[in-house]
Structure formats: C-alpha cells, structure tokens
C-alpha cells in the first residue's frame, strides 16, 4: 500500500508545490527508460510503456515519484524499421545525465533508472557509473532482463506489454494487427556475444497474433500480463532497493570519502 496519499506520483502531472511537499519528507524517483521502435503488432512506444508501468507499481510500494517521457533512446537492431527512432548511446547517456544532475540538485538523492529493452545497458550503465564518479551520489540501473527468465518467450514478454497498457489505462492503444511469426535473425551467437547487427526485416522483432483476439481474449491477456508484472516487482522488492540506495549513500559518505576523497575522480 502507498505510504501516503498523493494526488498523483507522475512527476509532470504534479504541481511544483506538490513536488516540494514530497521532497520535504522523501527523495525517491523512478526513471523508466525506453525506446520508440518497431515491435511487431505493438505500438512503437511499448518498450517505454512497460518500464513506465513497472515504475508506477514500484513507486506505489516504495513511496517514490515517476518521471515519464524518457522514450527516445538507443534502439539497436530495430533501426531497419522506418518507425524506429535512432539515438546513439552517447547522446542518450549525456541527456540522461543532465536529467539526473538536475534531479539531484532538486533533492532527489535516490534515483532508480529502469528498462526492459535489451540494448539499454549500453546507455544506462555508463550513466550510473559516471554520475557516481562525478557526484559521489549512488544511483542504480535495474535491468529487468536480469529479474526474468532468460527463456522468456516472445508471447510471454508480449503478455507483459499488454499488462503494462492495462495498468496505465491505455489498453485500447494496442491494435493487435495480424502478421507473420517469421524470424530470420542469426543463430544463438547473438545471445552469447555482443555484436553490431541489424534485423533483416520487421518480422524479425516483436510479436504478431495469428488471429484477431476477441474482447474477452484481450482482457484475459492483459490480466495475465498484470500478474506477471506484479510478480516481477515483488522479486525486485522496490522497498529494499531504495533502502539499499540510502545505505550505500551513507556508506560512501561515512567510510569512503573521508579516507580516499582527495584522489577520487
């Protein structure tokens, strides 16, 4: 249950007075980072909607705020899709660090960046490391892939996408277009090593239904997705996560900086 009754936890839906009132007692913000890219029958922004829904659930449990709108970042191999927006990891990381710096100046010492996008790590890992070196304030990147089975099927992942749209009250945005299930990507090497590569065609990424879903089937798929998301959030344990951030922050200030501060970057 939420620790307090806020009108909303969505940052850009709050007033300045509401944010300042929140900062008077807490300092937690969740930053769901996604992409706008081809994704089968799903809307282009689905890999932002999924971490946004997860962040919403996490913020409710951990008494945090959610910063939406972080949509346009490095997509990876989906650049072959004409709907995909390409932003390099370097540019995306610089933009995110500017946001994180501002949030810290405002008073948000505990920042949680999260994504469910496979290539997101090339942008987000440098952000949290370089931000810490610069500010000595630890922030964290939660890679959702590490908290799910590596054998998560396209259908299971897609079900979570549907659950995310349900959580955010946006289920009607999913068109559920029929399409192929053909995937032509190279062998399992892509799962074992880091390659620079592109998909060959749009059917190589994402999920398509093989029949038109009835309203009842759409509702059932979304409900299953909500259950999967809630189970994932429980495994991550956002309350323990933000408590760990505070512990790490205090440890750095108490134990590390007094001893090594003068020669740290």
**pLDDT score for 149:** 61
Lowest pLDDT segment from 75-79, 104-108, 191-195, 196-200: 191-195
Neighbouring C-beta atoms of residue 83, cutoff 10 Å: 12
Q: How many alpha carbons lie under 13 Å from residue 5 in its C-beta half-sphere?
A: 0
**Rounded Cα gap, residues 89 and 98, in angstroms:** 14
**Predicted confidence band at 196 (pLDDT cuts at 50, 70, 90)?**
confident
**pLDDT score for 191:** 52
- Domains observed in the chain: 11-263 (3.40.50.10310)
**Rounded Cα gap, residues 237 and 254, in angstroms:** 26
**Predicted confidence band at 188 (pLDDT cuts at 50, 70, 90)?**
low
- What percentage of the chain's residues is helix, strand, coil (to nearest 5)? 55, 5, 40
pLDDT tens column, 102-157: 999 999 999 999 999 989 999 999 999 999 999 999 999 999 887 776 667 878 89
Neighbouring C-beta atoms of residue 165, cutoff 10 Å: 22
Q: How many alpha carbons lie under 13 Å from residue 186 in its C-beta half-sphere?
A: 11
């Amino acid at each position: 249950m939420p620790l307090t009754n806020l009108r909303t936890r969505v940052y850009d839906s709050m007033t300045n007075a509401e944010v300042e009132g929140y900062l008077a007692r807490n300092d937690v913000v969740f930053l769901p980072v996604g992409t706008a890219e081809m994704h089968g029958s799903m809307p282009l922004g689905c890999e932002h909607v999924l971490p946004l829904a997860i962040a919403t659930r996490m913020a409710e449990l951990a008494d945090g705020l959610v910063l939406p709108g972080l949509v346009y970042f490095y997509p990876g191999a989906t650049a072959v899709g004409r709907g995909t927006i390409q932003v390099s990891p370097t540019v995306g990381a610089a933009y995110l660090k500017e946001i994180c710096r501002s949030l810290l100046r405002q008073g948000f010492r505990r920042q949680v960046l999260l994504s469910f996008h496979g290539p997101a790590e090339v942008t987000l890992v440098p952000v949290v490391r370089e931000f810490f070196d610069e500010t000595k304030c630890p922030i964290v990147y939660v890679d959702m892939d590490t908290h799910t089975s590596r054998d998560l099927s396209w259908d299971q992942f897609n079900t979570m996408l549907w659950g995310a749209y349900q959580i955010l009250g946006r289920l009607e945005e999913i068109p559920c277009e029929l399409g192929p299930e053909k995937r032509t990507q190279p062998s399992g090497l892509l799962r074992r090593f880091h390659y620079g590569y592109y998909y060959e065609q749009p059917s190589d990424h994402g999920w398509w239904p093989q029949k038109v879903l009835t309203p009842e089937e759409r509702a059932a798929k979304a409900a299953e997705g909500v259950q999967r998301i809630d189970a994932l959030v429980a495994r991550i344990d956002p309350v323990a996560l933000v408590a760990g951030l505070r512990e790490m922050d205090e440890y750095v200030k108490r134990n590390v900086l007094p001893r090594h501060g003068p020669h740290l970057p």
